[in-house]
Chains A and B, each alone.
Chain A
């Protein structure tokens, strides 16, 4: 490559402050460098993405006085995929007086992540959780309330307390609109400039620091240069590598992947969350899958028939004694609220045994019969009305009358850019927040924790850590870099060449981006999905290489380089193909099962995930070595000073 790629210096420093766990964040804040108010206006910060993390960060940094440039691919900052989160947001408020605390939220998250997350980050997340609720209420987020006027709570998987706050089944929407409104307030004040319809295609490094980005205007096709003093990537996860997922159509890995190619290490790429309750795949035409919120498992009971021959029967005709409520049976203390990875695997097992239901046999029942009998249909409608309606629209079946059919689907990616305690990647001045980073969820995320992390990063971490970065490097950063700098020149040239190449190949080939993409999705789902084996992963790498070759030589594309959704898809697919290779490599390398990563070679006698803490209690941070080449792994050991690593049991 012609321009600056930052070779990794070989040292992964998490930068966690010394001292007791509960004092680390205070200690960071007490020792951080500040930027005086008059100087803040001299700095500009680029924030890419306007979901919970990006929207909250952009608004909060602007409130501090920095000049913020906010980028999103949509027409409006309000449409980021955080909006689709349904069930809720966790916080250790302990309003129900049921024994919750910051410690317990921390502990549940560490355990839920199967002891593969960094203690200090998770503790800070639990500490920030209570401020998030106060912040959102101050913004006018209409959380569900009791008749007393107080906030309502419900429970979620992996917890035995009720700590989840919600706004009907649209919690993500309401939290995002809260962050969006805060952002628009700053746009009105002139502190944030919005750049909608922009896709980030490269990070520009000048003298070893992130000083800008290259974007493409998705309407006009223009390639643009934007300079700043720090860059925040809050561009979400990469679940769309599976083609079929609950992620939005335009969710993609491109921004973080391009940063990775520039030198930012990629953490734990094989940690993917497969959500247990999604509407099953119905055919090859499908472009995406729909989630049914985990909150439904508060009242719905999961079951399959005990006998294979009952699978095609009308479920209402199957008597109680012939039903296997397998989660209640296998995990009596958590029952239907077992964590996502465990519930998903249990559903897969039931279907693999031939006891799946529905046309394809790849579904289990989520049944509300008993809850409706107990609480009445009106109460269930009040709690989940919009989800039931959504299910009805898609499947043409009425879940008040007949059980829902559900199956696991890709939902969230715990992996992402490796970041230190300050959320800085291995590229100085480049930060990653929300789902785009690898940080807080270890090998499995608990329900209602993504919203918490996105807002914690955006409202309550980055405003401090970006300030610390700017303050620390003030002398250098106050010498402004402009977009005429040769680094911008060459990055733009590379971006243009990449698009041109796709357009050129696209004139000659025969397979559309969607056709190749669908094939990639199948490989990744079957071989880097719910169960992974050495053989399957090796096959996956070979198949991915073939698809890469297909993409390079046989792509079919029409239209121009202006508004062209298929051109966008093709560009993102190029990155997904490379990412898929890395995921397989990471999954091969991690010869243990943990959380969402299940290696069939590493399981207990009763089929549970078998961790290997002696060899694998580390974060795998991967260094890019070129297209089609194997990446190099660097390891950040995970040191547990406060919790004892134990077998994660929900029995």
Chain B
């Protein structure tokens, strides 16, 4: 198990520490030496935590799970950027070779009213679940359905739906947005189902309820700053936001929607 690249580096870390949701937080500084340049960023933090435990100190709490960029659990602001300086990657896909020898690296949690800090770098992102709950589904129940090939979906439509569906729900879009808007997240789901025929039956109800829920959670509005797209580890396009706005507008003015669904407030 020899290292493929034994080149090492030294780093200084400035990390947000906060005991609990209502406790005040502050930055603390740490330094680490002998970090392998081929280490992942989170393995570097693992190394720091091992050191802290041996020193009798409380380790830095941060979240991660799959460590291959798909579960959306890891969520760090690194050098002021959501998921760090590498585009199209999650924090767990960030490697130390992206940093300079001796660099001071600032690490913070996602900052947004709708994502309260639980401890250190861990935030509560359950607001995303509640947006999903408001309409991020087709309504199909478990049971017999038409043969899968009975619904023909042109390849380009299926591909665009997949582009939108690739969202991992990490919240980087919110963290990167000066308004802390969840528009990119919400629009990705809205677009997936707006493109696919399976989503058409409850299309209007879906967009109204999801957007309303997003507002209720305390996320800001979209003002087209495009920071979300730049930070998104899955490169979800802001075109989805345009589609969502169009879908919302169409639903909101449609007479049959108002007659059939009652208030736009889904009562979630």
**Interface positions of A (Cβ within 8 A of B):** 56, 59-60, 63, 74-79, 81, 83-84, 93, 95, 131, 133-140, 142-151, 167-168, 170, 172-174, 177, 180-182, 184-185, 187-188, 194, 196, 219, 248-250, 281-288, 290-291, 358-360, 362, 389-390, 393-396, 459-460, 463, 512, 514-515, 556-560, 562-566
Contact = CB atoms under 8 A, between A and B. Distances in A.
A291 B68 CA distance: 9
Contact of B1 (A77, A134, A136, A283): A283
30 contacts: A63-B142, A74-B65, A75-B63, A75-B126, A79-B65, A81-B65, A84-B66, A131-B144, A138-B146, A140-B199, A142-B196, A145-B154, A145-B158, A147-B154, A167-B162, A168-B162, A168-B166, A181-B136, A181-B138, A281-B1, A283-B38, A290-B67, A389-B88, A390-B69, A390-B93, A393-B93, A396-B97, A460-B142, A558-B58, A565-B59
Contact of A151 (B20, B50, B149): B149
A562 B159 CA distance: 44
Q: Which of B47, B71, B118, B148 has the most CB of A within 10 A?
A: B148
Contacts of A393: 86, 89, 93, 95
B118 A140 contact: no
Contacts of A95: 149
A182 B142 contact: yes
Nearest to A167: B162
B52 to A, nearest CB: 7
Contact of A59 (B54, B61, B142): B142
Contact of A188 (B39, B58, B134, B196): B134
Given A281-B1, A287-B42, A556-B53, A143 B158 contact: yes
Given A78-B72, A81-B65, A285-B39, 7 more contacts: A74-B73, A184-B136, A185-B133, A185-B139, A359-B4, A394-B40, A563-B122
Given A79-B72, A135-B140, A282-B3, A566 B53 contact: yes
Nearest to B268: A188
A249 B67 contact: yes
Interface string B125-159: 11011001110111111111111110111110011
A556 B54 contact: yes
User: 6 nearest interchain CB pairs?
Assistant: A149-B152, A181-B137, A283-B3, A138-B140, A60-B142, A142-B162
Contacts of A79: 65, 71-73, 169
Contacts of A93: 148
B65 A173 contact: no
B64 interface: yes
Given A78-B72, A248-B65, A194 B129 contact: yes
B119 A144 contact: no
B36 interface: yes
Interface in B78-101: 86, 88-89, 93, 95, 97
Give the interface size bracket for B toward A: 35 or more
Contacts of A174: 162, 165
B169 A287 contact: no
Interface in B31-66: 36, 38-40, 42-43, 46-47, 49-50, 52-54, 56-59, 61, 63-66
A410 to B, nearest CB: 15
B158 A150 contact: no
Contacts of A249: 64-67
Contact of A76 (B39, B86, B139, B169): B169
- Name the prevailing secondary structure of the B interface residues: loop
B52 A558 contact: yes
Contacts of B70: 83-84, 170, 172-173
Nearest to A522: B1
Contact of B168 (A140, A173, A248): A173
A364 to B, nearest CB: 15
A57 B162 CA distance: 25
A514 to B, nearest CB: 6
B193 interface: yes
B106 interface: no
Nearest to A288: B67
A78 B161 CA distance: 18
A74 B122 CA distance: 12
A148 B53 CA distance: 58
B124 interface: yes
Contacts of A394: 40, 93, 95
B198 interface: yes
B119 A563 contact: yes
A60 B20 CA distance: 37
A594 B136 CA distance: 44
B36 A149 contact: no
B192 interface: yes
B2 interface: yes
A259 to B, nearest CB: 23
Nearest to B69: A390
B192 A140 contact: yes
A19 B70 CA distance: 44
Contact of B155 (A83, A149, A463): A149
Given A75-B124, A283-B36, A285-B43, A137 B152 contact: no
A350 to B, nearest CB: 18
A137 B151 contact: yes
B138 A283 contact: no
Contacts of A134: 144-148
B64 to A, nearest CB: 6
A77 B71 CA distance: 11
B132 A360 contact: no
Contacts of A145: 153-155, 158-159
B32 to A, nearest CB: 12
Contacts of A395: 4
B68 A84 contact: yes
Contact of B154 (A59, A149, A360, A396): A149
Given A283-B2, A359-B4, A562-B119, A138 B126 contact: no
Contacts of A219: 118-119, 124
A131 B49 CA distance: 47
Contacts of B1: 281, 283-284, 360, 362
B140 to A, nearest CB: 4
Contacts of A250: 65
A181 B139 CA distance: 9
